[in-house]
């Protein structure tokens, strides 16, 4: 069908039948400055992946430090942090919608050489994410105990988890600012600026963890809640720095004062993004069900072991996230430049590099599984044994998880966000939760519940590879339909 959308006036608003005024000299000067920001160069995979890996590695280090500090408070505190973070991640699904749309549209616009549109998408995304994050904050503040209560934790652990969720929600807008602006910068090919900001955030976060968790130097000893306060303050500083530099036009994606508020642009963001939000919601729902089985039927030690194992292997996932960013950015930029074959090559190369890197790191961590478990939890034989078992299982799955990161990222960068949603529903809800429920019903040891993730990752990797091989993602979103030069 022909596109029947109304034409847009130069200031970004839909044409209401009144003759639109010609753009002012100020608007034209702003557009020329934005176009000058694009250098026309397309980065390589390592140029995007390496700084992204370093940036997320710094977050992983902070996560390990947090695990070590909270581990000093015992398995209950570790379980509370794990439950609190899981609830908060589920509430962040709305930001995934905006972020997925931001990445796809900014990368596509940048590849097409429309740097004005890339900047306007960034502005629209930031406003939309800020508004949504405020709504999430209200939910978290009022319903934290009910959300955390689904895991079957004992009353003391539940109280700590609820407090952790409330404090994370207080700083939700700061998390959104960091999340969206970093996504837009990476989509334009600038992965170094988010690295410097994330490094500063984590340099601030680590000493704050010590101060607020243990109450050193006159600070309140907040325990589990202190970890959330430390992260919130650090991200608030990082978010303010990011926004300040953006407003002062220090980044290649520029701050724009007008032309960004357009219903069509917001619709495109949500059309591409809502399946990613649903995928994140399904993802978190599946993990809720999976962890509910562990928490309700196998106890706090098994629940804590899962969270320790995930934190230990987070370094592998950090590497995968770097290649996910590289794949999504390059696929989007190649498609914007009408180079679908180049997009496919970038996706496959990101996948192979991710599999080699994550598989190698996973093998090393599996080899040191027991010493690492002892380091984080100390002398708690049951929790240590459960953690070692989980590390063996998840570590062996790293090559398949690499496919999830890289191919999944490449599909989202192309705007194909619906198929990853379908794959997540079938693999996580159907396969992992189904196998875990069966193992629990049969009264099998918790290691068999952990092992359900093998079926999850195997099915999902197979589905994603099949989808990428078919190539339908190349035309799911057509550049000409985005009407990028309409402004």
Please check the confidence at residue 14 and state whether its pLDDT lies above 60.
Answer: no
pLDDT greater at residue 5 or residue 27:
27
- What is the structure's pLDDT at 392? 94
- What is the structure's pLDDT at 179? 85
- What is the structure's pLDDT at 54? 83
CA nearest neighbour of 193 among 332, 95, 48, 326: 48
| pLDDT per position as a tens digit, 408-461 | 989 988 888 889 889 989 999 999 999 999 999 998 998 999 999 999 999 999
Distance of CA 126 to the CA centre of its chain: 16
Structure confidence at residue 481 as a pLDDT band (50, 70, 90): low
Over range 315-343, report the average pLDDT: 87
Please check the confidence at residue 466 and state whether its pLDDT lies above 90.
Answer: yes
Cα 454 from Cα 396, distance rounded (Å) = 9
Instruction: Write out the chain in H/E/C secondary structure.
Output: CCCCCCCECCCCCECCCCCCCCCCHHHHHHHHHHHHHCCCCCCCHHHHHHHHHHHHHHHHHHHHHHHHHHHCCCHHHHHHHHHHHHHHHHHCHHHHHHHHHHHHHHHHHHHCCCHHHHHHHHHHHHHHHHHHHHHHHHHHHHHHHHHHHHHCCCHHHHHHHHHHHHHHHHCHHHHHHHHHHHHHHHHCCCCHHHHHHHHHHHHHHHHHHHHHHHCHHHCCCCCHHHHHHHHHHHHHHHHHHHHHHHHCCCCCCCCCCCCCCCHHHHHHHHHHHHHHHHHHHHHHHHHHHHHHHHHHHHHHHHHHHHHHHHHHCHHHHHHHHHHHHHHHHHHHHHHHCCCHHHHHHHHHHHHHHHHHHHHHHHHHHHHCHHHHHHHHHCCCHHHHHHHHHHHHHHHHCHHHHHHHHHHHHHHHHCCCCHHHHHHHHHHHHHHHHHHHHHHHHCCCCHHHHHCHHHHHHHHHHHHHHHHHHHCHHHHCCCHHHHCHHHC
- What is the structure's pLDDT at 58? 78
- What is the structure's pLDDT at 477? 65
The whole model's pTM is what? 0.71
- What is the structure's pLDDT at 311? 78
Please check the confidence at residue 358 and state whether its pLDDT lies above 90.
Answer: yes
Q: At what angle do helices 115-148 and 93-111 cross, to 10 degrees?
A: 170
Report the percent of the chain where pLDDT is more than 70: 89
Structure confidence at residue 62 as a pLDDT band (50, 70, 90): confident
Over range 147-154, report the average pLDDT: 79
- What is the structure's pLDDT at 482? 53
- What is the structure's pLDDT at 406? 93
Please check the confidence at residue 30 and state whether its pLDDT lies above 60.
Answer: no
Please check the confidence at residue 38 and state whether its pLDDT lies above 70.
Answer: no
Structure confidence at residue 279 as a pLDDT band (50, 70, 90): confident
Please check the confidence at residue 286 and state whether its pLDDT lies above 90.
Answer: no
Structure confidence at residue 19 as a pLDDT band (50, 70, 90): very low
- What is the structure's pLDDT at 396? 93
Phi and psi based region of residue 98 (left: phi greater than 0; alpha: psi -120 to 50; beta: remaining): alpha
| pLDDT per position as a tens digit, 118-144 | 888 888 888 888 888 888 888 888 888
Please check the confidence at residue 486 and state whether its pLDDT lies above 60.
Answer: no
Over range 61-73, report the average pLDDT: 82
- What is the structure's pLDDT at 23? 38
Asked if residue 109 lies in contact with residue 484, where contact means CB atoms within 8 angstroms, the answer is yes
Return the structure tokens found at 56: 């997320």
Please check the confidence at residue 52 and state whether its pLDDT lies above 50.
Answer: yes
Q: What is the mean pLDDT of the chain?
A: 82
Q: At what angle do helices 263-312 and 381-396 cross, to 10 degrees?
A: 130
pLDDT greater at residue 96 or residue 340:
340
Q: Which of 69-83, 168-182, 207-221 has the lowest mean pLDDT?
A: 69-83
- What is the structure's pLDDT at 207? 92
Structure confidence at residue 484 as a pLDDT band (50, 70, 90): very low
- What is the structure's pLDDT at 257? 74
């Amino acid at each position: 069908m022909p596109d029947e959308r109304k034409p847009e006036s130069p200031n970004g608003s839909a044409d209401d039948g009144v003759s639109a005024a010609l753009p002012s000299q100020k608007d034209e000067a702003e557009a020329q400055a934005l176009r000058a920001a694009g250098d026309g160069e397309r980065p390589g995979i390592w140029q995007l992946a390496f700084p992204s890996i370093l940036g997320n590695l710094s977050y992983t280090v902070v996560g390990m430090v947090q695990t070590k500090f909270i581990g000093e408070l015992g398995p209950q505190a570790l379980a509370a942090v794990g439950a609190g973070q899981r609830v908060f991640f589920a509430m962040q699904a709305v930001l995934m919608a905006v972020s997925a749309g931001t990445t796809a549209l900014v990368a596509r616009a940048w590849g097409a050489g429309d740097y004005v549109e890339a900047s306007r998408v960034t502005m629209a995304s930031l406003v939309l994410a800020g508004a949504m994050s405020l709504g999430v904050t209200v939910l978290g503040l009022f319903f934290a105990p009910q959300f955390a209560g689904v895991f079957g934790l004992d009353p003391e652990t539940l109280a700590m988890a609820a407090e952790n969720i409330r404090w994370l929600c207080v700083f939700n807008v700061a998390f959104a600012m960091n999340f969206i602006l970093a996504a837009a910068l990476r989509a334009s090919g600038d992965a170094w600026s988010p690295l410097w900001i994330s490094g500063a955030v984590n340099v601030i976060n680590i000493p704050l963890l010590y101060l607020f968790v243990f109450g050193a130097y006159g600070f309140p000893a907040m325990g589990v809640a202190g970890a959330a306060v430390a992260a919130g303050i650090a991200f608030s500083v990082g978010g303010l720095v990011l926004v300040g530099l953006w407003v002062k036009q220090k980044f290649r994606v520029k701050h724009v004062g007008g032309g960004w508020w357009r219903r069509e642009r917001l619709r495109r963001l949500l059309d591409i993004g809502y399946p990613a939000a649903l995928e994140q919601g399904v993802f978190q729902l599946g993990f809720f069900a999976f962890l509910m089985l562990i928490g309700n039927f196998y106890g706090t030690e098994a629940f804590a072991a899962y969270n320790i194992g995930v934190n230990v292997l987070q370094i592998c996932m950090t590497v995968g996230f770097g290649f996910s960013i590289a794949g999504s950015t390059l696929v989007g930029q190649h498609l914007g430049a009408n180079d679908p074959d180049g997009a496919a090559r970038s996706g496959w190369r990101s996948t192979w590099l991710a599999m080699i890197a994550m598989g190698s790191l996973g093998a090393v961590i599996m080899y040191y599984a027991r010493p690492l478990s002892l380091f984080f939890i100390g002398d708690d034989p049951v929790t240590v044994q459960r953690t070692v078992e989980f590390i063996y299982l998840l570590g062996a799955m790293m090559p398949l998880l690499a496919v999830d990161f890289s191919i999944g990222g490449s599909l989202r960068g192309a705007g194909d966000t619906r198929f990853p949603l379908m794959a997540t529903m079938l693999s996580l809800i159907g396969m992992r939760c189904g196998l875990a429920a069966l193992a629990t019903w049969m009264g099998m040891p918790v290691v068999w519940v952990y092992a359900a993730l093998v079926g999850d990752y195997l099915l999902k990797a197979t589905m994603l590879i099949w989808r990428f091989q078919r190539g339908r993602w190349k035309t799911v979103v057509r550049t000409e339909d985005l009407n990028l030069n309409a402004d």
